[in-house]
């Protein structure tokens, strides 16, 4: 299969790009497109065969459900049994935007492989002009996971998508780099208080400001075993080729780690704020200013991917503070590192 990448900007015929994408989707094909978080790989959510192509192209385990994307918030009324007040308040506040709401689905609304057999569905309205235009022209819900090969960091540019899925999908809409750089916050509203299943750009505090108590398993000690876990999170995620180790953003610790790696005649790539550049890692990828978590989030996946273009033996990443978007960054880093911390 030949993969076409169409640049969607003011200089080309945008209409033609959207028409081609809509045609492909209606024919039961899959199309990659940008959202404000990461690139998604979409299929019409009612077409089981089309959705199956997503799992196949990504190499994704079939028990990992997909998020359904809508172009208008009110469309979800047709798909879910009820919308609790708290979910409604969050939708009004954060949509379009990086919030996925888990609600009870009306049975047989979506293809069974979208929800991996669950009675619930994750829904979101993305805040990206290309995603919204595509969804509105299509007029149908689109199931879309991140457009990466399963296990790899999510794509934040069309070139990342091309690298992973070249020859496996027919079309990529190229809208340049995505803004947020981490996947949406996933919140389960089928329980009360709602539970954050995956932290993201909409932070726990932002949710609490709107609906009060929210359970955040990443920062709260959850003893109640009935608290749902995000399906699919058990699988390897965001993993570059070389092993990732986390380290506190402490100058002495980072310097010692690099020295001891070099003493073993190994090479090290360092992902850290600018101020760590001086320590002679073999490759340095800047996470920007230590205080600016948004910049770290935006560049994180691209940097993890860049490590695959080096011959490094080890990837060291300094962890952010845990507040705000830092919680989402740390969540992804812990998965990329498979929980491994550097010990000298
Ligand atoms: O920002 C995003 O959310 C991106 C863009 C493309 O929209 N999409 C994305 O999809 O990250 P994906 O497939 O990589 O992550 C979907 C995750 C699943 O792994 C699962 O953890 C959660 O969303 N999820 C989906 N449906 C669910 C459900 N019914 N119940 C609980 N969790 C669900
Ligand atoms: Mg993903």
| CATH fold match for the domains 4-211 and 244-336 | no
How far apart are alpha carbons 281 and 262 in whole angstroms? 9
Ion ligand 2, residues whose Cβ is below 5 A away: 146
Pocket-forming residues, ligand 1, beta carbon under 6 Å: 35, 37-38, 40, 64-67, 98, 100, 102, 115, 118, 120-122, 124, 126, 144-146, 183-184, 186, 197-198, 230-233
Q: Has residue 228 got a pLDDT over 70? A: no
User: Dihedral through CA 17, CA 18, CA 23, CA 24, nearest 10?
Assistant: 70
Q: Has residue 224 got a pLDDT over 80? A: no
Residue whose Cα lies nearest atom 27 of ligand 1: it is 122
Residue whose Cα lies nearest atom 3 of ligand 1: it is 184
Q: What is the pLDDT of residues 313-343, one digit of tens each?
A: 999 999 999 999 999 999 999 999 999 999 8
- Give the CATH number of domain 4-211: 3.90.870.10
Q: Are 229 and 102 in contact (CB under 8 A)?
A: no
In the reported structure, the alpha carbon of residue 276 is separated from the centroid of ligand 1 by a whole-number distance in angstroms of 34
In the reported structure, the alpha carbon of residue 183 is separated from the centroid of ligand 2 by a whole-number distance in angstroms of 7
Residue whose Cα lies nearest atom 7 of ligand 1: it is 40
In the reported structure, the alpha carbon of residue 46 is separated from the centroid of ligand 2 by a whole-number distance in angstroms of 20
And the tokens for 113? 């492989």
| 4 labelled binding-site residue | no
* Residue carrying the six token digits 């962890």: 319
Q: What are the boundaries of each domain within the chain?
A: 4-211, 244-336
| 198 labelled binding-site residue | yes
| 150 labelled binding-site residue | no
How far apart are alpha carbons 318 and 243 in whole angstroms? 14
What is the position in ligand 1's atom list of the atom closest to the CA of 118?
Answer: 29
Q: What is the pLDDT of residues 267-321, one digit of tens each?
A: 999 999 999 999 999 999 999 998 899 999 999 999 999 999 999 999 999 999 9
What is the position in ligand 1's atom list of the atom closest to the CA of 122?
Answer: 26
Please, what is the Cα angle at 314 between 312 and 315, to 5 degrees? 95
More confident residue, 233 or 41: 41
Average predicted confidence (pLDDT) for the chain: 94
What is the position in ligand 1's atom list of the atom closest to the CA of 148?
Answer: 14
How far apart are alpha carbons 224 and 244 in whole angstroms? 31
DSSP label at 341? Answer: B
| 64 labelled binding-site residue | yes
Residue whose Cα lies nearest atom 13 of ligand 1: it is 145
Q: Which of 197, 153, 144 is nearest to 172 (CA)?
A: 144
The residues facing 72 across adjacent strands are none
Q: Which of 89, 49, 56, 51 is nearest to 67 (CA)?
A: 51
Predicted pLDDT of residue 221: 60
* CATH class, range 244-336: alpha beta
Q: What is the pLDDT of residues 44-95, one digit of tens each?
A: 999 999 999 999 999 999 889 999 999 999 999 999 999 999 999 999 999 9
| 69 labelled binding-site residue | yes
DSSP label at 289? Answer: -
| 5 labelled binding-site residue | no
Can you give the three-state secondary structure of 164-210, one letter per residue? HHCCCCCEEEECCCCCCCCCCEEEECCCCCCEEEECCCCCHHHHHHH
And the tokens for 228? 């749902």
Q: Has residue 173 got a pLDDT over 80? A: yes
In this prediction, residue 121 has a pLDDT band, given cuts at 50, 70 and 90, of very high
């Amino acid at each position: 299969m030949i993969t076409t990448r169409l640049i969607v900007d003011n200089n080309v015929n945008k209409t033609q790009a959207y028409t081609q994408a809509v045609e492909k989707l209606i024919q039961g094909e899959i199309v990659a497109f940008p959202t404000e978080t990461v690139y998604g790989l979409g299929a019409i959510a009612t077409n089981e065969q089309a959705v199956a192509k997503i799992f196949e192209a990504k190499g994704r385990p079939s028990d990992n459900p997909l998020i359904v994307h809508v172009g208008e918030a009110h469309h979800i009324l047709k798909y879910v049994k009820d919308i609790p007040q708290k979910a409604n308040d969050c939708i009004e506040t954060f949509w379009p935007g990086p919030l996925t709401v888990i609600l009870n689905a009306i049975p047989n609304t979506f293809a069974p492989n979208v929800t991996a057999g669950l009675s619930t569905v994750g829904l979101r309205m993305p805040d990206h002009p290309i995603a919204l235009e595509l969804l509105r022209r299509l007029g149908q819900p689109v199931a879309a996971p991140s457009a990466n090969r399963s296990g790899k960091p999510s794509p934040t540019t069309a070139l990342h998508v091309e690298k992973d899925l070249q020859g496996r999908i027919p079309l990529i809409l190229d809208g340049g780099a995505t803004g947020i750089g981490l996947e949406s916050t996933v919140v389960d509203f089928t329980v009360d208080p709602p539970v954050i299943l995956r932290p993201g750009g909409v932070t726990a505090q932002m949710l609490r400001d709107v609906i009060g108590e929210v359970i955040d398993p990443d920062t709260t000690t959850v003893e109640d075993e009935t608290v749902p876990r995000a399906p699919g999170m058990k699988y390897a995620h965001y993993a570059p080729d070389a092993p990732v180790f986390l380290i506190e953003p402490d100058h002495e610790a980072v310097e010692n780690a690099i020295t001891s790696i070099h003493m073993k005649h190994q090479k090290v790539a360092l992902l850290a704020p600018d101020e760590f550049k001086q320590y002679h890692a073999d490759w340095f990828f800047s996470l920007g200013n230590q205080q600016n978590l948004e910049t770290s989030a935006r560049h994180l996946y691209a940097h993890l991917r860049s490590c695959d273009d080096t011959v490094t033996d080890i990837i060291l990443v300094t962890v952010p503070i845990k507040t705000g978007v830092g919680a989402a960054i740390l969540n992804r880093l812990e998965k990329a590192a498979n929980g491994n911390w550097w010990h000298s």
